[in-house]
Amino acid sequence: MKIEKSTINSFFLALGYIGVAYIIQFLLYYVGGYFAYPNAETLHNWDVGWYDSIAKDGYMNWEGEPSNTGFFILFPFLWKLLHLNIWGVVVMNAVFFSVGFALFNSIFQLEKKVQLLWLTIPSMYFVWIPYTEALFVLLIAASLVGIVKNNRWLIWVSLFLLALTRPTTTILLPAFLITELLVNGYKQWLQSIKVYIINYALPLCLGLVAFIYYQYHVTGVWFAYFIQQKEGWGHKFAIPTFPLSTTGSNKLFWLNGIAFFLGLVSLVVLVRLFLKWLKGSAFQHDRLFILSSLYFVGICLVTLFFNPIWGSFTTNVHDIHRYAFVSPFLWVLLYRYTVAPVQYKTKHVLLVFFASNLLWLAFGDYQHIQSFLYFNVATLYIIVYMLQGNKKANWLMPVLAGFSFLYQTFMFQWFMLGLYPG
């Protein structure tokens, strides 16, 4: 199979970007002195320790206490299988992400400046630390290629492995079903369900069942992951409590707000498509867009209804930007809203301004003028992303990339300093 030059270029662009990100962290340390620099200790913060413990000692279930059963198996299994130290895992993740980024670009053929802009998304630093995000990006990108190429084996392998990597099966199972129904029209509902079961439901369910059984085999506890998430970290069903809050400082709260805004936009779009579907319309060319919109709606609903009440005793949405933005699903939405031929007018900007500020009420921006101004930074960020898709506003792209890169650099610093990364 011939690999396009643009795909190879995307791989090395992503890999080179990660290398530059690390070099800058070393420079900050040697110039400023008070910064952290990447080493075996600073890269071993937060969930890295849990994954490391699984790689070294396997699953250990401690009843009534947090334990490593609250994490999926594939990433630490690869860590153990390849006998990697922390730096080895960093390199592995850099390669995984770069391959995933290249696979995605093989579908959409993005310009280099757009690729660079997306690489600067602040939350993207998760792909070059010892977390599961890089593997997640690779497997999702591979599944999207499989869908576009109608390659059932690629879809099967990527989704089976995905079910061993992250707890996204519960979101993707209904998402794939709804996608198949919408793209084919309701008159073909039986054929849609058949394709859904064979192509998507089977590999996801088999992977999830394999993970559940493996944990039972080594711990003697059925559904150990779900028990740990519920009892150890408080992820159980609850009616959302407002205003929404976040762990630690508000440095990352605006990113969570943007994730919810994209979820809201996705919900509105899906409702409109559903109404057209009821009239007999089908949307075959929108398959990836519909799936990505459903993922965003799903991740928002899970965050709202299955997140604990910490800190301010309201629903804590601390991690949603990580799950939403470090994903090819975001890239699909960005392509649709900012790269594909689109010309936003003043009315669109005003609509985003008022809609986002209506959403920010759920985050408590009414409590103080400073909160209102803070969340309107998020509004401005969304609008600038919209406008950079207009040719007349191309000058905004380097400004946007510069701000994002700076924020991303400091988010990496916060992680290495032991501050909350989500």
**1 pLDDT exceeds 60?**
no
Q: Average model confidence (pLDDT) for the chain?
A: 91
Q: Which residue has the tokens 């400004």?
A: 399
pLDDT at 248: 67
Whole-prediction pTM: 0.95
pLDDT at 296: 97
Residues 255, 122 contacting (CB under 8 angstroms):
yes
By residue count, the chain amounts to: 422
Long-range residue pairs from 337-342, CB within 8 A, at least 24 positions apart, any chain:
337/385, 337/386, 337/389, 338/385, 338/386, 338/388, 338/389, 339/108, 339/110, 339/114, 339/389, 342/389, 342/390
What does the pLDDT look like over 298-341, one tens digit per residue? 999 999 998 877 767 888 888 899 999 999 999 999 999 998 87
**419 pLDDT exceeds 70?**
yes
* CA angle centred on 410, ends 407 and 416, rounded to 5°: 145
List C-alpha distances in Å: 5 to 12, 102, 256: 11, 10, 36
Residues 359, 316 contacting (CB under 8 angstroms):
no
For the chain, give the percent of residues with pLDDT over 70. Answer: 96
Q: Looking at residues 86-113, what average pLDDT do you find?
A: 96
What does the pLDDT look like over 165-186, one tens digit per residue? 999 999 999 999 999 999 887 7
Q: Looking at residues 388-406, what average pLDDT do you find?
A: 83
For residues 163 and 176, give the distance between their C-alpha atoms in angstroms, rounded to a whole number: 14
For residues 45 and 60, give the distance between their C-alpha atoms in angstroms, rounded to a whole number: 19
Residues 277, 182 contacting (CB under 8 angstroms):
yes
> In this structure, which amino acid lies at residue 109?
Q
Report the 10 Å Cβ neighbour count for 169. 20
For residues 45 and 86, give the distance between their C-alpha atoms in angstroms, rounded to a whole number: 11
**Residue in 105, 18, 113 with CA at minimum distance from that of residue 397:** 113
Per-residue confidence band for 286, with pLDDT thresholds at 50, 70 and 90: confident
pLDDT at 392: 66
> In this structure, which amino acid lies at residue 141?
A
**12 pLDDT exceeds 90?**
yes
pLDDT at 396: 81
Q: Looking at residues 188-194, what average pLDDT do you find?
A: 87
For residues 308 and 72, give the distance between their C-alpha atoms in angstroms, rounded to a whole number: 20
